[in-house]
Structure 1
Amino acid sequence: MALDSLRFDLSPSEVPTEWYNILPDLPERVPPPLDPRTGEPVDPASLERIFARELVRQETSMERFISIPPKVREAYVALARRPTPLFRARRLEEYLGTPAEIYYKYEGVTPTGSHKVNTALAQAYYNKEQGIERLVTETGAGQWGSALAIAGAYFDLKVRVYMTRSSYKQKPYRRTLMQLYGAEVYPSPSDRTSVGRRFLAEDPEHPGSLGIAISEAIEDVLSDEKARYSLGSVLNHVLLHQTVIGLEARKQLDEAGVYPDVFVGCVGGGSNFAGFTYPFVRDRLKGSSDSRFIAVEPRASPSMTRGAYTYDYGDSAGLTPLLKMHTVGHEYKVPPIHAGGLRYHGVAPTLSILVNHGIVEPVAYHQTEVFAAASLFARLEGIVPAPETAHAVKAVIDLAIKAREEGKRIVIAFNFSGHGLLDLQGYQDFIEGKLSDYEPEELPIHKRLGGS
């Protein structure tokens, strides 16, 4: 096989100049966030106390393409190492004996090892331009926290991170990385906020969740006029920043001479999945493609596969507006799986709409089968997937095996959202047989809605 058929690169000048915004192309309008006190739509201007002004504008913008500021585009090249490469997983194909071709967009080349820096740099830039001095956020496994930490260092902003307590203990080197970049890092629930103290009073060993960490971050922001909140997923402005991934991948797949039959990505809130797939989902929405889109989540937090599509809080303490999304309920105590970035109770409203219309197909896996698939990928392709990314790897392997059984030649592409070199404790637990699988018997959202 020719070497130039295994890797596809772009030059720095080919980094996209615009982000893609899916809102004008969706099959229906996104239901507005609601004020939980009145049940009325939230005035976007009121969100400017929490988010930077330009990010609030992007949240509801109906512009199909939004220009990337020159300073952000420069940071994408200088700091984020964009464009990132596209690889063909030839050894995995041969091992599986499949007629499928497998390609993956490798976001692990960024300094923090994941896709998260794509929106972190954009959010830091807009906050700096507005005169904000400090950013506060949550993080699960630490990819988002470390991305915002390095973005804050790049644009000279202070950063404070509330890290879910289970990940704070499981992944100490993620915490170290954030601190190296100058961020303050606290385990969540913490004793720094009234929200954190409430959850600790209920359970001193509470493993935390992204929902609780979001609540703490927002409470922190509301105590400081010069601080703003940064979110790593779920909201539209975050997802559209990530479309640099898919826009680059389109050029690289053209270079490879293929258009995938199936696109795959893992989902916590939806940012890496949307960033990779939305430019191609647009083709499907326009009727120029019939490709499938597979969204993979953990069975421990099955928002899309078992949750309800309803209004719910974006955080655990009920400080945020209500969002209409697929959710297991903000009261759900997410088990301490190693894929900390997927330990969220809901998914992006835009992604929820695509699931409802059958354009995106959700699947769910246990963490033991996910780690087994990731271990195989590491042996064959040499890159250790992050536990989150491993969910996509598992789905890709299943698709390739099915193609073999059916004798069907298909092209599969997935977003390799991050490497797992700072997640090796999870792999050690897998090797030693210490991993447990979790699947809720009952979900809070069904109980609240009176159904099952």
Structure 2
Amino acid sequence: MVNTDLIPKYWYNIVPDLPKPLPPPRDPPDAEFSRIELLKKILPKEVLRQQFTIERFIKIPEEVRDRYAAIGRPTPLIRAKRLEEYLGTPAKIYFKYEGATPTGSHKINTAIPQAYFAYKEGVEHVVTETGAGQWGTAVALAASMYNMESTIFMVKVSYEQKPMRKTIMELYGGNVYPSPTDLTEFGRKVLKENPNHPGSLGIAMSEAIEYALTYGYRYLVGSVLDVVLLHQSVIGMEAIAQLEELGEEPDVLIGCVGGGSNFGGFVYPFIGAKKGKKYIAVGAAEVPKFSTGKYEYDFPDSAGLLPLVKMITLGKDYVPPSIYAGGLRYHGVAPSLSLLVREKIIEWREYGEEDIFEAAQLVMKTQGIVPAPETSHALRAVIDEALEAKKKNEKKVIVVNFSGHGLLDLGNYESIRKRIGSKK
């Protein structure tokens, strides 16, 4: 029997505990309209309030906690003993398994409250974008829970690579379109310049926002903004309680980073509780935000409809390569995470597809779980940390946010396997 008492009663907000004040969102100096005022038109009111709050803890509505329980929270904390044995490491490895949710990833943790707040306002239709498809899947399910319609703009290259994600979203009742589309002015502009544009998360985001504004719908945001990392803190809060039940003190905490929601949701509560000695954020080497991105004000979306935020960024016009870890293609990093990286409180690493494929295979063979390509980046860092502990004979406790399963990514893994095989 799952202990639902472990589902947190409060979300944790790291903003008041940051080492420096978080630079506020702002409008561009030559703005023809206020992007900050625009947020009031597209976000549910309570979502907007939580985005700008400085409260450390925010009570989770009981209706949302009930939905969390219904989708399988608390998610399991799994000891990866066979992986430890294979590596011959004295370290203990734990997976916080977010793949156990019906949508197969952590994304449902913020989709439910955002959909709930929209529903409470009488909203009948919500809109969003999605990269790899996990977020779109979560929004489609959350909207259906509250009898709302949903429209999802999916990055074209992922739409083509992951047709089963589209199928699931549609089965949940979502309307799914490959972005860029001809449904929006911005999409038509992109297609005019490049009819074969592979799409990007920034473009899909811009289309979703324009679509919501055009029809008076509400926009649900999947990553980057503080409110999303706030909702995702259920992961870290649960993990802290689960580790305490086991009598374990974590040394190393690891997560992959697209925009930063699963990493922040997992790691931030540990930072706030002063637990852990090392925090490692892992990105894709093909989208080198940490190594080459600049820390500056930039737009979260490609059209520049949202307010400028200060973050590590490759630039809003960056076109990412068509790597299979679609959730890691985003051009920027959440402002709070960017600040913590700059202050060297959080370390970073970047891995390429061949490295992460090797890690994914090892986890599959030892633990039997198929990780999402995004998650496999974090698992590569776990393996490296475990091998370092072996080299130094250190008994570390390594905990990773296993952000999603890869059962819908098998075609992508097969393509990577064939490509790697052809090089040998």
TM-score (norm 2): 0.97
Structure 2 match to 1:238: 228
Tell me if structure 1 keeps the 8 A contact 2:140–2:150: yes
Does 1:330 pair with 2:323? no
Tell me, what secondary structure is at the counterpart of 1:242?
A: helix
Counterpart CA distance in 1 for 2:191 and 2:32 is 32
CA distance, structure 2, for counterparts of residue 44 and residue 16 of structure 1? 31
Structure 1 residue 358 and structure 2 residue 348: aligned?
A: no
Match of 1:192 in 2: 183
Task: Measure the CA separation in 2 of the matches of 1:278 and 1:93.
Answer: 26
Once the two structures are superposed, residues 121-146 of structure 1 have per-residue CA deviations (whole angstroms, 9 ceiling, x without a partner) of 00000011111111110000100000
Q: Which deviates further from its counterpart, 189-198 or 415-424?
A: 189-198
Answer whether contact 1:44 1:56 (CA < 8 A) is retained: no
Q: Deviations over 1:316-339 (max 9, x none)?
A: 122221110000111111001001
CA RMSD, Structure 1 to Structure 2 (Å)? 1.8
Q: Distance between the aligned counterparts of 1:31 and 1:395, measured in 2? A: 30
- Aligned partner of 2:299 among 313, 329, 339: 313
| Corresponding residue number in structure 2 for 1:25 | 17
Aligned residue pairs, count: 423
CA contact (8 A) 1:34 1:41 kept: no
Superposition map of 1:162-201 within 5 A: 162-201=153-192
What code does the residue aligned with 2:315 have? G
TM-score (ref. length: structure 1)? 0.91
Deviation at 1:46, TM superposition (A): 4.4
Deviates more, 1:56-65 or 1:143-152: 56-65
The alpha carbon displacement at 1:38 in A equals: 4.4
Q: CA offsets, 1:61-105, max 9 Å, x none?
A: 111110111111110011x21111100100000000111110010
| C-alpha contact 1:32 1:42 (8 A) present in aligned 2 | no
Alignment of 1:76 with 2:68, yes or no, is yes
Within 5 Å, which residues of 2 pair with 1:241-280? 241-280=231-270
Offset of 1:290 from its aligned partner? 5.6
Offset of residue 13 of structure 1: 2.7
Whether contact under 8 Å (1:33, 1:41) holds in the other structure is no
Match of 1:139 in 2: 130
Could you say which residue in structure 1 is the equivalent of 2:4? 12
After TM superposition, which residue ranges in structure 1, 4 or more long, deviate above 6 angstroms? Answer: 39-43
Matched, 1:34 2:34: no
Choose the corresponding residue for 2:383, options 397, 417, 420: 397
Partner of 1:127: 118
Counterpart in the other structure of 1:149: 140
> Which ranges in structure 1 are unaligned for 5 or more consecutive residues?
1-8, 438-452
TM superposition shift of 1:108: 0.7
Residue number in structure 1 paired with 2:400 = 414
Report how far residue 198 of structure 1 moved: 1.4
Paired residue type of 2:189? R
Which runs of 5 or more structure 2 residues have no equivalent in the other structure?
A: none
| CA displacement at 1:43 relative to structure 2 | 8.1
One-letter amino acid of the counterpart of residue 351, structure 1: L
Q: Does 1:102 align with 2:90?
A: no
String of CA shifts for 1:24-78, please: whole Å, max 9, x gaps: 1111111111112447996855421021111111011111110111111110011
CA distances 1:417-442 after superposition (whole Å, capped 9, x unpaired): 000000111111122126999xxxxx
Letter paired with 2:166: R
Whether the 8 Å contact between 1:189 and 1:212 is mirrored in structure 2 is yes
Amino acid at match of 1:425: G
